[in-house]
């Protein structure tokens, strides 16, 4: 990927109108919007190319791309369209799965897709370059340049690497050091973070099609609850063209307290009778790990400061809410909003925190903050003991009791089975009612 130089702004003091730090989905969306509006924008990526520092793949929900790249599905580097979604609850030897599939998700405008992040991120960054952004890779931003408390650019590890701009967009990923340096983050709580670990496993395309009952470019996304033992978290498995990805999301504090290593828990998941037949015979091509901002709305920093805005994972815009595990769409949505808001502030000649306030207003009126606010309680519910351990065990137990033939004893009634499983798994009716009410408020 080559560097592309856009037209410089008229100011003698600034090298660019805007600097975007991080060429992930948030940063590239911001750079694309700014460049399309005629602004000179520098997009800085510390890796050798966009996406090189990201995990190998993921599920991407692309509706937000409709306004950025019309008919993006005709050219985006997609592996498979997700036409089958499963939610699996498991214990050590049991698994109960809700399985939904629809052909509608396998044709335009589609719903979700699997993609390799290096391919997808590079593609989106190229879109910004095509509009006139300057992309510089293999460059690390080492700090902010300030003038009387106002951000006026960044310093980098390149010789004479200080670059000035009228506004900086921090899209430098989870635990953003730029947002911290700007004083936009308060005290960091380790309980708000999880670590995602994943193996990408090669299998012939025909084998994937057969095992997951899909054909052509259709694929499967499986979300798993109850697969992490005493460590709160969850699991996932999804199909690419000729690989599958299997992984876990694990509470960092609980992982440290329990003395377990992520790769041990992942190995146990792969041996589970519900998962082992799906991964059998595959060759591990990559193991990767990534810190995830789990608490969503409740851990977000201040989104604007004088001369700076924060977007994507850097602003904790990852929705980890059990049924929904989304990140790329929120990154693109926040990045696009940041680009549009910064363009408006530049046009008015006011890139102070007040002048950049339109960024938050845009997020408030979009799905980005509406969904995060609506589901702000969901991460706490999903990571609780009831959802993590007791309900999966109870659900699997109820299913086993219902489908076990007890001749010559008569079949037990459903309510009797439920009550027995509640006693067996220590599930109190008051806890179920309380968490159900909280879930209805969170998800309703």
CATH topology match: 16-71+115-188+299-374 vs 191-293 = no
For the residues 140-158, what does the mean pLDDT come to? 97
**pLDDT tens digits, 51-83:** 887 765 689 998 999 989 999 999 999 999 999
Tell me the whole-structure pTM to 2 decimals.
0.92
Mean pLDDT computed over 265-277: 97
How far is 115 from 217, CA to CA, in rounded Å?
12
Task: Please state the domain extents for the chain.
Answer: 16-71+115-188+299-374, 191-293, 384-443
CA-to-CA distance for 318 and 199, rounded, in angstroms? 21
CA gap 349, 224 in Å, rounded: 49
pLDDT band for position 166 (cuts 50, 70, 90): very high
Amino acid 139: pLDDT: 97
Q: How far apart are CA 223 and CA 82, in angstroms?
A: 13
Q: How far apart are CA 357 and CA 106, in angstroms?
A: 39
Q: What is the pLDDT of residues 365-424, one digit of tens each?
A: 999 999 989 888 777 777 777 788 888 999 999 999 999 998 898 888 989 998 898 889
Q: Are 374 and 318 in contact (CB under 8 A)?
A: no
Angle among Cα 248, 249, 251 to the nearest 5 degrees reads: 130
Tell me how far the alpha carbon of residue 355 is from its chain's centroid: 29
Over 60: is that where the pLDDT of 235 sits?
Answer: yes
CATH assignment of 191-293? 3.30.9.90
At 334-368, the pLDDT tens digits run 999 999 999 999 999 999 999 999 999 999 999 99
Torsion of CA 353, 355, 361, 362, to 10 degrees: -110
CATH (residue range 16-71+115-188+299-374):
3.50.50.60
- Tokens representing 425 are 């798994």
pLDDT at 297 over 90: no
Cβ burial of 312 (10 Å; 0-12, 13-18, 19+) is buried
């Amino acid at each position: 990927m080559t560097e592309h130089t856009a037209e410089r702004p008229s100011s003698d003091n600034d090298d660019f109108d805007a600097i975007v730090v991080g060429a992930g989905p948030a940063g590239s969306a911001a750079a694309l919007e700014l460049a399309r509006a005629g602004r000179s924008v520098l997009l800085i990526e510390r890796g050798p190319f966009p996406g090189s520092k990201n995990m190998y793949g993921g599920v991407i929900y692309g509706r937000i791309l409709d306004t950025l790249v019309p008919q993006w599905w005709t050219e985006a580097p997609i592996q498979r369209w997700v036409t089958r979604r499963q939610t699996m609850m498991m214990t050590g030897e049991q698994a109960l799965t809700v399985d939904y599939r629809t052909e509608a998700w396998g044709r335009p405008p589609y719903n979700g897709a699997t993609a390799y992040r290096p391919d997808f991120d590079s593609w989106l960054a190229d879109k910004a370059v095509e509009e006139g952004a300057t992309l510089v890779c293999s460059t690390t931003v080492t700090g902010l340049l300030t003038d009387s408390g106002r951000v006026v650019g960044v310093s980098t590890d390149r010789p004479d690497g200080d670059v000035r701009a009228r506004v900086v967009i921090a899209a430098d990923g989870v635990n953003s050091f730029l947002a911290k340096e700007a004083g936009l983050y308060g005290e960091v709580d380790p309980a708000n973070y999880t670590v995602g670990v994943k193996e990408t496993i090669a299998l012939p395309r025909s084998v994937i099609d057969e095992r997951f009952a899909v054909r052509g470019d259709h694929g499967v996304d499986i979300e798993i609850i109850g697969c992490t033992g005493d460590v709160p978290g969850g699991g996932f498995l999804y199909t690419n063209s000729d690989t599958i990805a299997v992984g876990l999301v694990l509470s960092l504090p609980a992982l440290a307290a329990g003395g377990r290593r992520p790769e041990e828990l992942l190995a146990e998941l792969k041996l589970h009778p519900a998962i082992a037949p799906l991964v059998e015979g595959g060759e591990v091509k990559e193991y990767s790990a990534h810190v995830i901002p789990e608490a969503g709305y409740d851990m977000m920093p201040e989104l604007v400061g004088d001369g700076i805005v924060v977007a994507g994972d850097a602003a904790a815009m990852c929705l980890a809410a059990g049924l929904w595990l989304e990140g790329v769409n929120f990154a693109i949505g926040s990045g696009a909003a940041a680009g549009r808001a910064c363009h408006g502030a530049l046009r008015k000649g006011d890139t102070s925190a007040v002048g950049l306030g339109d960024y938050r207003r845009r997020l408030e009126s979009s799905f980005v903050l509406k969904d995060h606010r609506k589901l702000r309680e969901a991460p706490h519910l999903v990571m609780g003991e009831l959802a993590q351990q007791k309900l999966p065990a109870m659900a699997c137990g109820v299913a086993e009791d219902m489908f076990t033939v007890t001749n010559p004893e008569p079949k037990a009634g459903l309510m009797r089975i439920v009550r027995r499983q509640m006693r067996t798994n220590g599930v109190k009716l008051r806890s179920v009612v309380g968490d159900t009410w909280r879930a209805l408020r969170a998800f309703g």
